[in-house]
C-alpha cells in the first residue's frame, strides 16, 4: 500500500520548492526536485528596452545577489558595446561584490545552516546559549551592508553604477570607516571558520565535475576563465557552446547541464579549483580539523563558505587600503553599438551568466540569464537521491529523513527565487 508524506515547507532557504520521492522495496526509484513558484519573465521584460534600463530591472531578480546581477549585467552590456572600464571601476565593483559575499555567507552559515548542526529550529532559538556566535554573524552582516551602501547608494539593488563606471563614490571618511569595520570582522570571520571546522558533517562523496572561475593568484570574483577540476577550461564568452538549459514537467525552474551531465558550482568548487590561493593560517586550521580538500562532499560547501568569509574580509580591507584618499570621479561616455556580450561573475552560489544582444540604437533585442541555482539544481536532485538511499540503507527513521534531506539541500545555499523556488515532499512507497 502506497503512503505519502508531505512536508509543506522547507525552511531556512531562499525561496520555495517541491520534492517528490518514490521508494519501492527499500530502493529510491524516483526523485524529482523542482521549483513551485511561477515563472518570472525577466529575460523577456528587458527586450525592447534601452540598455541602461536592463541593469536596473534584472538586479531585481534577487535581493540577496542584487550586486552580482548588477555587475554581471554591466559586464555583459559593456562587452556587447565594446566599452572598457578603468582599473578603479574594476576595483569598486570587486569591493561592492565582496560586501555582498560577506553578508550572504554570514547569513547562510549562521541563520540557515548552523541551527541544523546545533539541534535548534532557528538561530533565534540558539541566541540565549550562543550569543557570541550570533553577535559575530550580525557584525559581519552589518559590515557587508555598509560596504554595499557606500558604493551602491543603498543596501540592496545598488543604484551607484552604470555602463562604463560608477555615479556614486564613497568619501575618504566612509572608506576609513569601512576599513575599520573590516578589521573588526577579521576575528569573527576566523572564529567562524574554526567553528564550522568542528561540526560533524554527514559522509557523502559524489563524483561530479566542479566548475568555477579561475583568477590568477587569488580567489575568483569577476575575472578569469571558466574551469573544472577535470582540467577543462574555456573563455567566458564560449559558455553557450557547452551548457544546455531545459525545463522538466515538475518544475518551473530551469535545469542546466554541461554536455548532458550535472555539475556543481559555489564555494566548494571555487575552493577545490583555487587551493593554491589559500593562506598558510587557513591551511593550518584545515589540517588541525582533519578536513581535506579537494572534497566531493557537498556538505563541505559550508566549510568552504567559512573559508571564503575570511578571504573576502581580508581582500576587501586590502582593496580599500589602496584608496584611502578616495576615488577619482570619472566621466562616463557611452555610444550605443550593436553587438552581443557575455558577463560572468562569481556570486555566493556560483557562476552567474548574463548575455545581451544590443541593436545599433542601444536597445536590447535578446537576453539570457543563467543563475547558479538553475545550474546546481540537477546536482541537488541527484545528491538527494544518493543520500536518501544511503539513509535508508543505514536504517534512519522515516521521520528523521526530511531534516537530513533539508540539511543537504541547504548546504548548497540555494536561491530558488532566482531560479524561477522550497520544500514540499511527496513520499510514495
- Does residue 148 belong to any structural domain of this protein? yes
138/385 Cα distance (integer angstroms): 35
- Does residue 196 belong to any structural domain of this protein? yes
CA-CA-CA-CA dihedral for 187, 185, 300, 110, to nearest 10? 110
- Does residue 172 belong to any structural domain of this protein? yes
Residue 1 is predicted with a pLDDT of 36
413/373 Cα distance (integer angstroms): 9
Residue 288 is predicted with a pLDDT of 93
Report phi then psi at 231, rounded to 5.
Answer: 100, -5
- Does residue 277 belong to any structural domain of this protein? no
**Cβ–Cβ under 8 Å, residues 203 and 297:** yes
- Does residue 414 belong to any structural domain of this protein? no
Residue 267 is predicted with a pLDDT of 97
- Residues 6 or more apart whose Cβ sits within 8 Å of residue 32: 18, 19, 20, 21, 248, 250, 251, 381
131 burial type by CB count under 10 A (0-12 exposed, 13-18 middle, 19+ buried): exposed
- Does residue 130 belong to any structural domain of this protein? yes
Residue 216 is predicted with a pLDDT of 81
What's the number of domains the chain is made of? 1
- Does residue 145 belong to any structural domain of this protein? yes
Beta pairing, strands 263-264 & 255-258 = unpaired
- Does residue 285 belong to any structural domain of this protein? no
Residue 17 is predicted with a pLDDT of 65
In tens digits, the chain (429 residues) has pLDDT values of 344 444 444 444 445 667 788 888 888 888 888 665 445 577 888 899 999 888 888 887 776 778 899 999 999 999 999 999 999 999 999 999 999 999 999 999 999 899 989 988 888 899 999 999 999 999 999 999 999 999 998 778 888 889 999 998 999 999 999 999 999 999 999 999 999 999 999 999 999 999 999 988 788 999 999 999 999 999 999 999 999 988 776 566 678 999 999 999 999 999 999 999 999 999 999 999 999 999 999 999 999 999 999 999 999 999 999 999 999 999 998 999 999 999 999 999 999 999 999 999 999 999 999 989 889 989 999 999 999 999 999 998 878 888 888 899 889 988 653 433 345 556 666
Domain ranges, residue 124: 43-200+319-372
Q: Residue 354 sits in a domain of what CATH number?
A: 1.10.645.10
Q: Helix 172-198 and helix 301-321: axis angle, to 10°?
A: 160
- The pTM of the full predicted model, rounded to 2 decimals, is 0.91
Amino acid at each position: 500500500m502506497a503512503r505519502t508524506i508531505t512536508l509543506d515547507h522547507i525552511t531556512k532557504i531562499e525561496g520555495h520548492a517541491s520534492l517528490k520521492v518514490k521508494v519501492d522495496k527499500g530502493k529510491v526509484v524516483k526523485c524529482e526536485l523542482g521549483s513551485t513558484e511561477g515563472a518570472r519573465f525577466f529575460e523577456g521584460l528587458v527586450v525592447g528596452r534601452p540598455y541602461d534600463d536592463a541593469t536596473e530591472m534584472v538586479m531585481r531578480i534577487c535581493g540577496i545577489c542584487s550586486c552580482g546581477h548588477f555587475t554581471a549585467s554591466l559586464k555583459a552590456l559593456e562587452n556587447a558595446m565594446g566599452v572598457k572600464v578603468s582599473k578603479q571601476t574594476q576595483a569598486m565593483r570587486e569591493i561592492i561584490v565582496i560586501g555582498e559575499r560577506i553578508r550572504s555567507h554570514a547569513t547562510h552559515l549562521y541563520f540557515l545552516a548552523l541551527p541544523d548542526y546545533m539541534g535548534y529550529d532557528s538561530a533565534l532559538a540558539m541566541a540565549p546559549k550562543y550569543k557570541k556566535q550570533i553577535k559575530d554573524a550580525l557584525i559581519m552582516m552589518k559590515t557587508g551592508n555598509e560596504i554595499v551602501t557606500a558604493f551602491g547608494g543603498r543596501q540592496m539593488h545598488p543604484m551607484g553604477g552604470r555602463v562604463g563606471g560608477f555615479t556614486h563614490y564613497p568619501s575618504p571618511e566612509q572608506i576609513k570607516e569601512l576599513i575599520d569595520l573590516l578589521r573588526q570582522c577579521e576575528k569573527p570571520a576566523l572564529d567562524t571558520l574554526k567553528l564550522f571546522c568542528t561540526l560533524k558533517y554527514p559522509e557523502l562523496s559524489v563524483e561530479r565535475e566542479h566548475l568555477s572561475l579561475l583568477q590568477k593568484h587569488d580567489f575568483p570574483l569577476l575575472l578569469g576563465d571558466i574551469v573544472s577540476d577535470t582540467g577543462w577550461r574555456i573563455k567566458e564568452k564560449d559558455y553557450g557552446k557547452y551548457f544546455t538549459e531545459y525545463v522538466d514537467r515538475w518544475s518551473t525552474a530551469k535545469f542546466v547541464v554541461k554536455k548532458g551531465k550535472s555539475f556543481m558550482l559555489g564555494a566548494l568548487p571555487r575552493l577545490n579549483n583555487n587551493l593554491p590561493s589559500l593562506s598558510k593560517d587557513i591551511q593550518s586550521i584545515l589540517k588541525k580539523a582533519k578536513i581535506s580538500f579537494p572534497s566531493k562532499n557537498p556538505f563541505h560547501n559550508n566549510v568552504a563558505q567559512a573559508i571564503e568569509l575570511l578571504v573576502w574580509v581580508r581582500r576587501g580591507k586590502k582593496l580599500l587600503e589602496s584608496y584611502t584618499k578616495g576615488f577619482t570621479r570619472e566621466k562616463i561616455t557611452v555610444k550605443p553599438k550593436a553587438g552581443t556580450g557575455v558577463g560572468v561573475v562569481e556570486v555566493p552560489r556560483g557562476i552567474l551568466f548574463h548575455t545581451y544582444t544590443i541593436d545599433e540604437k542601444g536597445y536590447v533585442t535578446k537576453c539570457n540569464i543563467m543563475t547558479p541555482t538553475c545550474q546546481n539544481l540537477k546536482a541537488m536532485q541527484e545528491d538527494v537521491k544518493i543520500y536518501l538511499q544511503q539513509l535508508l540503507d543505514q536504517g534512519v527513521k522515516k521521520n528523521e529523513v526530511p531534516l537530513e534531506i533539508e540539511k543537504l539541500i541547504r548546504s548548497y545555499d540555494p536561491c530558488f527565487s532566482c531560479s524561477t523556488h522550497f520544500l514540499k515532499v511527496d513520499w510514495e512507497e
